[in-house]
Structure 1
C-alpha cells in the first residue's frame, strides 16, 4: 500500500470492467444488449457478468471463449476479468488442431464454447493432455453455470498493468503468437474509441466485427463506457445486418473492407437506405487497406460515414486513424480518395508513430520508405511465453509492425508494402509459413512458396507456387483439399501454380519475384 495520503485520493487503477460499473450507476434501466429476442438492461447485464465472474473465480488459469458475437461473449469480456483470470478469445473459423494448440499454449483450464462448434471442440480436447472444463453456450449449460448460486469471492484487483487477455495472431513462424493485453492499455484504448468514433448513450453498435479479433478492437468496453447499446450479430449476413440497421436504429459498426462491400451491394441496401434518408449518417470503422473510392462513394450514398483505422493485434486493433479534418471536405473527390488512402496518425492515447529506416527516422517527405513502429499505452505487454519473440518485435522499445510506409509532411503515415510473410484476407491474418508447411506435407511436393495475391472481394488471398518431386503428380484441387483438411478454410490457397520457383544464389526462394509478378498491375500492395 502506498503511504502517500494523496495516493488513495487521486489514483484508481484503470481496469476495463470498471467501465461497466459506471454504466450501471448511470444507465441501469436502459438497454445494454440486444441479441435476437433477448434484451438486457445494464442492471441485468451487470448482474449476469457478476454471476459469471463468481462461477469462474478461484483458479488463476485463463478462460478461453469460442463463441460468435453473442451476449455470452460480451459477458465474458467483463465477467472473466472480474474473476481475476485472463480472457482468451478464439477465432471461430479455426480447426480442432488449431484450437488445441491455443488451449494448450495459453494454459486455459475453462472453455466457454458455443454448440455450433462442438465438433471442433471435441477434436481439440482430444489432442491435449490437460483436462479442460467446458461450458456450452446455446444450451441450458451456460445458464446453469452462471445461475447455480456460486458465491466464490471475487479478488480485489489493483494492478492496471496485469494480464487482461491473450489474443492469438498468425506469426511468421507458422505458429500463432499469444499477444498479451494489459488492463491499462485496454481501458485507454476503449476511451480512445469512444472519442474517435463519437460513441454516446444514443449509440446502437452493431457487432459486424468479430469479438474474437483483438477483443473486438476493445469495443465491448468502449460501447459500455459510453452507455450505448450492443446489437449482437452472430455471423455477418448482409440482409440481417440491414434489417437490424433499419429496425434497431443502428448508429455505429466496424468491419473489414469486405464487410463494407457486402453491405454496399446487398439486395436490401437501396430500399432501407431510402427509408433512412433523413437519418444521421451511420459511422462505420474499417481497418487494413483503404476502401476503394467507388466503394466509399457507394457507402456515402447509402448513408454511411467511413472512418479508416490501421493497426495490428499487438496494438489492440486500431493504432492509427485517418483523422479527417473538416478542411478536406471541400476537396474534389479524387483528392479526397488520395488522402483517404493514408493510414493516418496515432490514436489519442498513443505516442507518435515512427517510420524507421536503416539510417534512423525517415524524413517526412512522403517518399522515403521505412518500417512503421509504435510504443506507448496502446501496445501489448509482449508475446505470451515468448520473450525472444517479444525482444525481436521490439528491439529498442519500439514495436516493429512489419509494415512499410512513408511519413507525409502533415504527419500522416501511408502504407506502401508489408515486410512480414502475413497475408491479410478479408480482415483475417494468414501466416504464409503455416500454409507452406501444410502444403509441404503433401508427398508429391518438393518445395512451395505462398504469397498473397490480389482479389476483388477479399483484398488478397493465398496463392501457392509449387514444385513437385520428379515423377510425382498432383492437381491444384488435391493440394487445396490437402490444406483444407489441416487448416481453417480461409487459409487454403485459392490458386495453385506448378513449376520451378525462382531462387537466390544461396538457394532461398525469391518470394519478392513472385509478388512482383502477381502485383504488377496493382498500384499498391496494401489492397482492400
Structure 2
C-alpha cells in the first residue's frame, strides 16, 4: 500500500507511531451512539481514528458495499466526510462526497448522475429534502442514516459491529474518489479523481516537508473548509503525513463557534476558505485575538480581499508571518501560488489590489497559457484572455457528463473558465470567470477596490450584464451604505449602477463560501444576459 492511500492511511500512521492529537469543534456525526459517552468526544488520537475508519468500513460492508461501488455521502459539514471517504476506499469502493448545503434538487441531480450503491446521510438531511419534495433514498439502492431511524433507510445501529474485510488494493488508474465543484454558476460538476491524480500528483507533493510552507512537527495546524470538497481529503493526507503536534478541525465559520476552539488550541498554521477569514476579521482585530501565534496562513479555493490579509498578518505576534494564496480547481488541484507578507499587501491607495496577482504556476506541476476565447490562439503577454492549464493532476472526467471534459480540453490543455492576464514576468493576474466578465475590466478587481475603500462592506459582488451598467450588490455591517462615501469610492472606477443592498443572511453561498452569482443575477437582474458565453463553465 502507498503511504497516502486513504483506505489504510490511519493504520499506517498508527504503525509509524504518529502522535498527532486531533481537536474537533464538535463531535463527529459518525459517532452518534447515545449510549456511549465516548461519542461526545472532541479529541482523538491516531489509533482511535484508525479504529473508527475500520469500524465505518464494516458498516458499509454490512450494506453490501464492495470494490468499485460508489458510496455517496450527504450530511452536515464536518471532517467525518473525509473519514467516511477513507472507509469506502478501504473496501475498494469510490466515495462520492456531496455537500449537505446544496439545494435538495441539486443533490437529486447529482445522485442521479452517480448511480451510487449506498447513500450515507442524516435524518435531518432526508427530512429537509422531503420538505423540498425530494426523496433522496429513491436514487440509491440503500441508505444509511447516522443519527436514528428514517423512512426508507437503514439505521446505523443495525450495522454496528460488522467486521470489515482487509483493505483492498486498487490500480492507480481507476476512480478513487468523486467530489463536486463549487457550483457558483449552476449545478456543480462531479469530478472523478484517481490515485494517480489525487494521491501521486496532489497529496504526495504536499506531503513533502517544504521549507516554511509545510507543517512542522511542533505546529498546531487548524483547518476550516467544506470537507465534502476535494481539498478536505488531499489536505488530510498531506498534513497528517507530516505529523504535526496537533490538528484543529473547524466545521463551521461563525466567529462565536470557532473562537472557543481556537483559544483552547491556538494555531501556528491556519488554512481556511476566504469566506471564513472574512467572517473572522472581527476576532483578528481584537488585541487578545486567537491568531497571535500563527506563522503561516493559507487560503484556497479563491483569491481573497487585501484588507482581510492585512488584518490577519497584523493580528499575529510573529515577526515575519507568511500568507500563502493558492489558486486551482477541483479538476486540477493547485495551479499557482503566491506568498504575501505585511509589506506586499500594505495599503498604497492604488486601484489594483495585490491579491488578484495569483503568482506563478506551481513549479514542475502546472503550466498556464492565455488564449483568445474564440480562436483559442495564444495572446501576447499583457493581454487578457481565457486561462488554459496543463497539469498531470487533471481529473479523470465528469461523472454522468463524459463529453464535458472533452469539450473543455484541447491538445493536452484544460480550459479553466477563468479570464486572466499573463504578465511579462510570467505571473497570472485574475480577471473574472468568463461568464461573469465585463468588457475592458474585471468584476473581481472592482470588488477588491470597493472592499479596500469602504471598510463597512462585508461582501461586494459586481454583476455584469450585456445591456446596462454593472450592478454592485453590497452586504454591509449595518445594512446601510453612505451614498456620499460610495460616490467617492467609485469616482475613478468605470461607471457602475446604483448599489443594491442585501442582508447578510440572504447572500447565497456555496459550501466553500463563494457567492452563487447566478442566483443574484436571477434576483436582481431579472434574467438579463451576461457578457460572457458560459461555454467554459
Give me the TM-score of the superposition, normalised by structure 1. Answer: 0.71
Distance in 2, matches of 1:175 and 1:384, equals: 13
Q: Is the 8 A contact 2:225 2:250 kept in 1?
A: no
Distance in 2, matches of 1:379 and 1:67, equals: 27
- Count residues with an aligned counterpart: 445
Identify if the C-alpha distance between structure 1 residues 185 and 497 changes in structure 2 by more than 3 Å, giving closer, same or farther. Answer: closer
Aligned to 1:416, what secondary structure does the other structure show? strand
Q: Deviations over 1:2-55 (max 9, x none)?
A: xxxxxxxxx959634454344222234542453534222111111211222233
Q: Does 1:34 align with 2:42?
A: no
Aligned to 1:156, what secondary structure does the other structure show? coil
- Which residues of 2 match residues 74-223 of structure 1 at below 5 A? 74-122=82-130, 126=135, 129-138=138-147, 144=157, 147-157=160-170, 159-169=171-181, 174-187=186-199, 188-194=201-207, 197-216=213-232, 218-223=234-239
Structure 1 counterpart of 2:48, from 44, 49, 53: 44
Identify if the C-alpha distance between structure 1 residues 236 and 52 changes in structure 2 by more than 3 Å, giving closer, same or farther. Answer: same
Q: Does 1:231 align with 2:260?
A: no
Distance in 2, matches of 1:65 and 1:233, equals: 19
Give the structure with the larger helix fraction. Answer: 1
Q: Is the 8 A contact 1:35 1:70 kept in 2?
A: no
Q: Is the 8 A contact 1:100 1:124 kept in 2?
A: no
Q: Is the 8 A contact 1:89 1:215 kept in 2?
A: no
Structure 1 counterpart of 2:430, from 390, 415, 421: 415
Q: Is the 8 A contact 2:291 2:312 kept in 1?
A: no
Distance in 2, matches of 1:415 and 1:276, equals: 29
> Which residue of structure 1 aligns with residue 305 of structure 2?
291
Per-residue deviation, 1:452? 8.3
> Which residue of structure 1 aligns with residue 31 of structure 2?
none
Q: Is the 8 A contact 1:258 1:457 kept in 2?
A: no
Identify if the C-alpha distance between structure 1 residues 172 and 96 changes in structure 2 by more than 3 Å, giving closer, same or farther. Answer: closer
Identify if the C-alpha distance between structure 1 residues 172 and 213 changes in structure 2 by more than 3 Å, giving closer, same or farther. Answer: closer
Structure 2 counterpart of 1:386, from 390, 397, 401: 401
Give me the TM-score of the superposition, normalised by structure 2. Answer: 0.70
Q: Is the 8 A contact 1:208 1:236 kept in 2?
A: yes
Per-residue deviation, 1:264? 0.9
Q: Is the 8 A contact 1:55 1:152 kept in 2?
A: no
Distance in 1, matches of 2:297 and 2:42, equals: 25
Structure 2 counterpart of 1:23, from 10, 13, 37: 13
Q: Is the 8 A contact 2:298 2:326 kept in 1?
A: no
Identify if the C-alpha distance between structure 1 residues 235 and 142 changes in structure 2 by more than 3 Å, giving closer, same or farther. Answer: farther
Identify if the C-alpha distance between structure 1 residues 348 and 40 changes in structure 2 by more than 3 Å, giving closer, same or farther. Answer: farther
Structure 2 counterpart of 1:319, from 332, 335, 346: 335
Distance in 2, matches of 1:306 and 1:489, equals: 20
Q: Deviations over 1:202-249 (max 9, x none)?
A: 343333211112342721222222223442323211133222222112
Distance in 2, matches of 1:29 and 1:71, equals: 19
Aligned to 2:92, what secondary structure does the other structure show? coil
Identify if the C-alpha distance between structure 1 residues 254 and 500 changes in structure 2 by more than 3 Å, giving closer, same or farther. Answer: closer
Gaps of 5+ in 1: 1-10, 433-447, 459-475, 477-482, 502-508, 514-528
Q: Is the 8 A contact 1:373 1:401 kept in 2?
A: yes
Q: Is the 8 A contact 2:419 2:433 kept in 1?
A: yes
Identify if the C-alpha distance between structure 1 residues 131 and 212 changes in structure 2 by more than 3 Å, giving closer, same or farther. Answer: closer
Deviates more, 1:399-408 or 1:92-101: 92-101
Q: Is the 8 A contact 1:319 1:378 kept in 2?
A: no
Aligned to 2:177, what secondary structure does the other structure show? strand
Identify if the C-alpha distance between structure 1 residues 512 and 380 changes in structure 2 by more than 3 Å, giving closer, same or farther. Answer: closer
Aligned to 1:184, what secondary structure does the other structure show? helix
Gaps of 5+ in 2: 27-40, 438-442, 448-460, 478-499, 501-506
Identify if the C-alpha distance between structure 1 residues 29 and 291 changes in structure 2 by more than 3 Å, giving closer, same or farther. Answer: same
Distance in 1, matches of 2:58 and 2:426, equals: 47
Q: Is the 8 A contact 1:22 1:225 kept in 2?
A: no
Aligned to 2:331, what secondary structure does the other structure show? helix
Aligned to 1:176, what secondary structure does the other structure show? coil
Q: Does 1:252 align with 2:269?
A: yes
Per-residue deviation, 1:380? 1.0
> Which residue of structure 2 aligns with residue 493 of structure 1?
520
Q: Is the 8 A contact 1:346 1:353 kept in 2?
A: yes
Q: Is the 8 A contact 1:310 1:320 kept in 2?
A: yes
Identify if the C-alpha distance between structure 1 residues 14 and 346 changes in structure 2 by more than 3 Å, giving closer, same or farther. Answer: farther
Aligned to 2:192, what secondary structure does the other structure show? strand
Structure 1 counterpart of 2:325, from 288, 308, 333: 308
Identify if the C-alpha distance between structure 1 residues 33 and 66 changes in structure 2 by more than 3 Å, giving closer, same or farther. Answer: farther
> Which residue of structure 2 aligns with residue 67 of structure 1?
75
Q: Deviations over 1:87-125 (max 9, x none)?
A: 111122122222122112111121222344231354676
Per-residue deviation, 1:406? 1.3
Per-residue deviation, 1:361? 3.4
Q: Deviations over 1:254-304 (max 9, x none)?
A: 3332221211124x851432x764x34352324423322x32221111127
- Which residues of 2 match residues 443-454 of structure 1 at below 5 A? 453-454=472-473
Structure 1 counterpart of 2:60, from 30, 47, 56: 56
